[in-house]
Amino acid sequence: MKEKKRIVILGGGFGGVYAAKYLEKALGRKDDFEIILINKENYFVFQPMLAEVISGALGILDPVNPIRHLLRKTQLHVREIEGIDIENRTVTVSPGFRPHAHKVPFDHLVLAMGNVTDFRGMRGLPEHAIPFKNLADALYLRNHVIRALEEAAIEQDDLELRKQLLTFVVAGGGFSGVEVVAELNDFVRGVARKYRGLDPSEIRVVLLHSQDRILPEVSEKLAVFAQKILQKRGVELRLHTRLEAATGQEAILADGERIPTRTLVSTVPSSPHPLIETLDLPKGKNGRLIANSFLEVEGAPNIWALGDCAQVPAPDGGSSPPTAQHAIRQAKVLANNIVTSIRGGERQTFGFKGLGKMGSLGHRSAVADIFGINVSGILAWWMWRTIYLMKMPGWGRRLKVAASWTLDMFLPAELVELKLNRSMSLAQEHFEPGEEVFQQGDLGDRIYIIINGQAEAVREEEGCKTLLARIGPGEYFGEMALLRKTTRSATVRCTAPMDTLSLPRREFSLLTAYLPDLRKSLVEVMEKRTHDNQQRLKKAEGQ
Amino acid sequence: MKEKKRIVILGGGFGGVYAAKYLEKALGRKDDFEIILINKENYFVFQPMLAEVISGALGILDPVNPIRHLLRKTQLHVREIEGIDIENRTVTVSPGFRPHAHKVPFDHLVLAMGNVTDFRGMRGLPEHAIPFKNLADALYLRNHVIRALEEAAIEQDDLELRKQLLTFVVAGGGFSGVEVVAELNDFVRGVARKYRGLDPSEIRVVLLHSQDRILPEVSEKLAVFAQKILQKRGVELRLHTRLEAATGQEAILADGERIPTRTLVSTVPSSPHPLIETLDLPKGKNGRLIANSFLEVEGAPNIWALGDCAQVPAPDGGSSPPTAQHAIRQAKVLANNIVTSIRGGERQTFGFKGLGKMGSLGHRSAVADIFGINVSGILAWWMWRTIYLMKMPGWGRRLKVAASWTLDMFLPAELVELKLNRSMSLAQEHFEPGEEVFQQGDLGDRIYIIINGQAEAVREEEGCKTLLARIGPGEYFGEMALLRKTTRSATVRCTAPMDTLSLPRREFSLLTAYLPDLRKSLVEVMEKRTHDNQQRLKKAEGQ
């Protein structure tokens, strides 16, 4: 009896799930191989519909599908992938309830890990920009936007904060950015009238795009149509504009302009999963794995790659674009070729050219390029909905989506804010010169440690400002109000681009209570500062 | 012109929302008063349907309703209530995006804060028991249960862990506990067959109840019916059994028995909101505010109380039970009496006796006591659904619920695990004697600080066990594997009931990187320990 071969698939997007699906089909009633799929979520995300979660046109779980419902013969491991050892043919995954290492050996490995939003090296973006890639991102954005509206409705005095709360910025004018800005705009303008004390005219929704027109994926005619629709609905279009940096309160453009906002979404840039970087395999443009037209990684037998993390030759030269329709066709070829290498037979080559492109513009409008024919407006929207509904895997989910769309036509917009507790315990923040970390008199809610950059602490008394200290890397501030349980005794303002780490009051109290050494060293610094400050204030008074 | 009076309502449950609703009705087109409702969520939870979120019979947002959809003339402040100053007539709420104090003055105050799950003083429950009170609890439980199933499906070797993962314990056999256990049981048994490598017969669902029958709210006949249904469906009923303590791996009963489990839900006990405790107002049984039959707090003019945080005289003696139907009737009387005190007129008194009681038993069964008539089984279930659907405020939500129920009849159970990131950064845990915190050879993922209790560190080499250290309050352990990036060099086992605080690797690395003092003191302790351990091991070898 031949040994059972094990195929391990990494990633549960279009590439991974469809590869497993075609492998299951080929397996039939035989059992000469087994399939393991490793993914950090137990569901598959139907990306094209993700943006509709923002506006509530779809329910939260509508655009996702439990992988177990789609794949009956595959073993699903819901874990993070921590390491891939090509030489020894094992994958290491994160521990579960107990901290044990967990290794999965393989005979064939399918790399289908897609790409991730990659803000590395962009000032303030890792800390403050909201990516839009998976369900958690969509939910976070949705809840964040509702929270901003709730707060703006209460905040009647602080006009600066109100402006920040009511400005929503999206960077990137490709399909993804356009769909997000369209849904976001529909949603905030739609629900604003539910809020007493919110004037819809205060709302600003901005789309930043670096080129001279949005939607580089389609023809200029469609792009111009999309631009008109977005502008008509109140989206401010900023072409030739590049996002350079971000803070918690501002989007900073390449030309130095600062847009005050508390909601900055960025759909660019993306790069393959960080683990792909670590592999000793041939990589092409943007770090994607070079696969041949059999979908096998160049020079690596039984290592396969597809989808957004792979560079697959297109039939007419160049490489295959990172879309769902291509990933699905790649999956079919890949599955066939794995089965061939186990059972024998002829390998297939990938030669799909693409059927067309579609992008939703929100409320009953879309653009589509089907076999080279341009369609726009309500007809394109109807095509968008019909085609994607049919493409969605699983009839149960299709029914749910259809029900949600139907109810959405005549029900008021959903505005429940689900508090998801995105872990705020130890927060990293970025500040730009001139920004205040906190103001004298504020409640003392966190202690800050400066990773790099610089700030100054200034106290104002009877109209007279005294510079208390300049603080730099490795120093901390804000401990006084926490240790003494008072309000902030000074204003701290950033003077050179600064990254901080901060710990909220609760965590700070617990740590200092049970780590006496930490408390001791904090108290020492605080006492020295208090002493120095008094000297400085006396001096200032003397002058 | 008379000054506009301000009515501030604290809490957005049945009491608070219906009080605002009746006040809005009385306001009509006048504007002699304004209504502010303060609640930490922007939605109202329709409690009776909350348990259906567990099984996915209802969508995640179906049992909640945005308060803004229900109340058009009320100003909603979505904030935590931090202080109530009866004398100065102000309420302090938590800060929003900026750390400023926010005070809301009032003329009339309505206390409708309901009650909270209160595990204080119960060993290990605050750390490890899952409450079931609000939407976040329901979502957390649902996701936790799915995660346990996912992990059990992978875990084929560690049979002890597998047993813990597949045992689900609910404490408390009132309506709330029974509904939770029924939905939980239906769900896990329903989806288990989707998991390859899970045998439904391994699943254990246990209901703990301290008295001799469940459902003390209804007649014995109905309770016995409910018990039979639950048992038939596989729920293990443990009567005369009280939960005494909990750890991350066990539910500990009063008689000392330990049930291995990773999922312990407790629906008891509850007590009024902690802020009620701090108020200098008359309180009765269980700390509830004593209100008279006008719903005014005894001796406190213009301070009103209703719902679960109030003790309101019942027409036939005793006090009014904490149910939605009573809260709604109280709200009507209360609203009338506030309007009377502003505009003049005659006060009403509360005299509602209750219509009946209903409890769902999951899959097409329920018990109901309507005007003293007992109904059970599918008829009661049909009544339950019909009555609650009609009672649910807002026709939009009613439609959604009806749609979900319809789809649920023929769609497979939802098993998407939404990762909600319940902040795990700084975790508090409870251990009982004999339990291991970690084992030699485990991955080093956290550092622990002992708050109280005791543990021992034991190293095993070539079958020989050496006691390395006994550790107690204020000491920490587990730093070695983190600082040296190795696996655990010893097993740490609890020897006396122990509470710990622990910090995960990522937070630990960030803090020690930027707080050199902390790192220094940790390294010192570690070096001393390494030295001591070597001495001890040498001695052991010599023996």
Domain check: are B214 and B338 in the same one? no
Burial class (CB in 10 A: 0-12, 13-18, 19+), B288: buried
* Residue bearing tokens 């030759």: A313
Token pair listed for B401: 């619920």
Which residues in chain B are closer than 8 Å to A153, comparing Cβ atoms?
75-76
CA A526 to CA B1: how far, in whole Å?
55
Contact A416 B43 (CB under 8 A): yes
Question: What pLDDT was estimated at residue A117?
Answer: 87
CA B211 to CA B215: how far, in whole Å?
10
Domain check: are A159 and A92 in the same one? no
* Bridge partners (DSSP) listed for residue B256: none
pLDDT band at A419 (very low <50, low <70, confident <90, very high): confident
Specify whether the CB–CB gap between B491 and B439 falls below 8 A: yes
* Residue bearing tokens 């492109």: A357
Question: What pLDDT was estimated at residue B421?
Answer: 58
Amino acid letter, residue B543 = Q
Q: Other C-beta atoms within 10 Å of B345: how many?
A: 11
Is the CA virtual torsion A147, A149, A154, A159 positive or negative?
positive
Q: For residue B64, which phi and psi values (nearest 5 degrees)? A: -120, 160
CATH number of the domain enclosing B36: 3.50.50.60
Specify whether the CB–CB gap between B209 and B172 falls below 8 A: yes
Domain check: are A365 and A255 in the same one? yes
Does the CB of A160 have a partner CB in chain B at under 8 Å? no
Specify whether the CB–CB gap between B433 and B494 falls below 8 A: yes
Last residue of a domain, one of B287, B310, B343: B343
Domain count, chain A: 3
Element (H, E) at A507: helix A505-514
- Ordered DSSP codes for A199-229: -GGG-EEEEE-SSSSS-TTS-HHHHHHHHHH
Out of A262, A419, A425, the one facing B97 most closely (by C-beta) is A262
* Residue bearing tokens 């954005």: A141
Q: Other C-beta atoms within 10 Å of A506: how many?
A: 12
pLDDT tens readout for residues B190-248: 999 889 889 889 999 999 999 999 999 899 999 999 999 999 999 999 999 999 999 99
pLDDT tens readout for residues B2-61: 689 999 999 999 999 999 999 999 999 999 999 999 999 999 999 999 999 998 889 888
Token pair listed for B71: 């109340």
Domain check: are A144 and A255 in the same one? yes
Burial class (CB in 10 A: 0-12, 13-18, 19+), B115: buried
Query: What's the whole-number mean pLDDT along residues A318-330?
Result: 94
Domain check: are A226 and A371 in the same one? yes
User: What are the distances in angstroms from CA A56 to CA A60, A230, A413, B264?
Assistant: 8, 19, 6, 33
CA dihedral B16, B17, B22, B28 (to 10 degrees): 120
Question: What pLDDT was estimated at residue B542?
Answer: 64
CA B38 to CA A253: how far, in whole Å?
38
- Ordered DSSP codes for B495-516: EEEEEEEEEEHHHHHHHHHH-H
Which residues in chain B are closer than 8 Å to A262, comparing Cβ atoms?
97
CA A468 to CA A166: how far, in whole Å?
35
Classify residue B351: in a domain, yes or no. Answer: no
pLDDT band at B424 (very low <50, low <70, confident <90, very high): low
Last residue of a domain, one of B343, B373, B395: B343
ipTM confidence: 0.90
∠B282-B284-B289 over CA atoms, to 5°? Answer: 55
Burial class (CB in 10 A: 0-12, 13-18, 19+), B45: buried
pLDDT tens readout for residues A201-241: 999 999 999 999 999 989 999 999 999 999 999 999 999 99
Classify residue B47: in a domain, yes or no. Answer: no
Contact B101 A411 (CB under 8 A): no
Domain check: are B96 and B149 in the same one? no
User: What are the distances in angstroms from CA A230 to CA A141, A238, A269, B150, B154?
Assistant: 20, 12, 22, 43, 48
Mean of all residue pLDDT scores within chain B? 91
Does the CB of B518 have a partner CB in chain A at under 8 Å? yes
User: What are the distances in angstroms from CA B110 to CA B4, B20, B291, B301, B327?
Assistant: 17, 10, 11, 11, 13
CA distance B106 to chain A (A): 16
pLDDT band at A415 (very low <50, low <70, confident <90, very high): confident
Classify residue A333: in a domain, yes or no. Answer: yes
pLDDT band at A516 (very low <50, low <70, confident <90, very high): confident
Last residue of a domain, one of B343, B373, B396: B343
CA-based nearest residue in chain B for residue A427: B507
Out of A75, A449, A507, the one facing B426 most closely (by C-beta) is A507
CA-based nearest residue in chain A for residue B93: A154
Domain check: are A148 and A249 in the same one? yes
* Residue bearing tokens 């009320």: B74
Residue by residue, what is the 3-state secondary structure of B161-182?
Answer: HHHHHCEEEEECCCHHHHHHHH
CA A111 to CA A310: how far, in whole Å?
8
CA B410 to CA A292: how far, in whole Å?
44
Which residues in chain B are closer than 8 Å to A197, comparing Cβ atoms?
75
Report percent pLDDT > 70 for chain A: 98
Contact B419 A68 (CB under 8 A): no
Query: What's the whole-number mean pLDDT along residues B389-393?
Result: 91
Classify residue B146: in a domain, yes or no. Answer: yes
CA-based nearest residue in chain A for residue B399: A407
Token pair listed for A195: 């809020």
Instruction: Examine the pLDDT at B519 and tell me if it is beyond 80.
Output: no
CA B77 to CA B10: how far, in whole Å?
10
Domain check: are A152 and A210 in the same one? yes
| Strands A204-208 and A235-238, bridge-based pairing | parallel
Instruction: Examine the pLDDT at B327 and tell me if it is beyond 90.
Output: yes
CA B368 to CA B375: how far, in whole Å?
5
pLDDT band at A177 (very low <50, low <70, confident <90, very high): very high
CA-based nearest residue in chain B for residue A448: B514
CATH number of the domain enclosing A170: 3.50.50.100
Contact B66 A415 (CB under 8 A): yes
pLDDT tens readout for residues A240-291: 999 999 999 999 999 999 999 999 999 987 888 999 999 999 999 889 999 9
Specify whether the CB–CB gap between B68 and B78 falls below 8 A: no
Instruction: Examine the pLDDT at A424 and tell me if it is beyond 60.
Output: no
Query: What's the whole-number mean pLDDT along residues B109-132?
Result: 92
* Residue bearing tokens 């490793």: A38
Specify whether the CB–CB gap between A375 and A383 falls below 8 A: yes
Interface of B with A in 67-86 (CB under 8 A): 68-69, 73, 75-79
Instruction: Examine the pLDDT at B443 and tell me if it is beyond 50.
Output: yes
pLDDT tens readout for residues A434-472: 999 999 999 888 899 898 899 999 999 888 999 999 999
pLDDT tens readout for residues B125-179: 999 999 999 998 999 999 999 999 999 999 888 899 999 999 999 999 999 999 9
Instruction: Examine the pLDDT at B81 and tell me if it is beyond 90.
Output: yes
Classify residue B74: in a domain, yes or no. Answer: no
**What pTM did the predictor assign?**
0.92
Which structural domain, as residue segments, surrounds residue A527? Answer: 427-542
Domain check: are A139 and A255 in the same one? yes
Which residues in chain B are closer than 8 Å to A501, comparing Cβ atoms?
510-511, 514
Question: What pLDDT was estimated at residue B457?
Answer: 95
Residue B243: which of B187, B188, B173, B167 has the closest Cα? B173
Residues ≥6 apart with Cβ < 8 Å to A152? A162, A165, A166, A195, A198, A202
Interface of A with B in 85-144 (CB under 8 A): 95-102, 135-136, 139
CA A529 to CA B331: how far, in whole Å?
55
Contact B136 A417 (CB under 8 A): no
CA B396 to CA B398: how far, in whole Å?
5
Q: Cα Rg for chain A, rounded, in angstroms?
A: 27
Does the CB of A153 have a partner CB in chain B at under 8 Å? yes
CA distance A93 to chain B (A): 12
Domain check: are A490 and A438 in the same one? yes
Backbone angle region of A172, left / alpha / beta, with phi > 0 → left and psi within -120 to 50 → alpha: left
Classify residue B422: in a domain, yes or no. Answer: no
Query: What's the whole-number mean pLDDT along residues A387-410?
Result: 89
Instruction: Examine the pLDDT at B106 and tell me if it is beyond 90.
Output: yes
In angstroms, how far is CA B430 from the centroid of its own chain? 18
SS3 state of residue A294: coil
Contact A407 B403 (CB under 8 A): yes
Domain check: are B432 and B531 in the same one? yes
Backbone angle region of B290, left / alpha / beta, with phi > 0 → left and psi within -120 to 50 → alpha: beta
Task: Provide the residue count of chain A.
Answer: 543
CA B13 to CA B16: how far, in whole Å?
5
SS3 state of residue B82: strand
Of the CA atoms within 13 Å of residue A271, those in its CB half-sphere come to: 13
CATH number of the domain enclosing B458: 2.60.120.10
Does the CB of B537 have a partner CB in chain A at under 8 Å? no
Domain check: are B220 and B289 in the same one? no
Classify residue B450: in a domain, yes or no. Answer: yes
Out of B150, B407, B511, the one facing A399 most closely (by C-beta) is B407
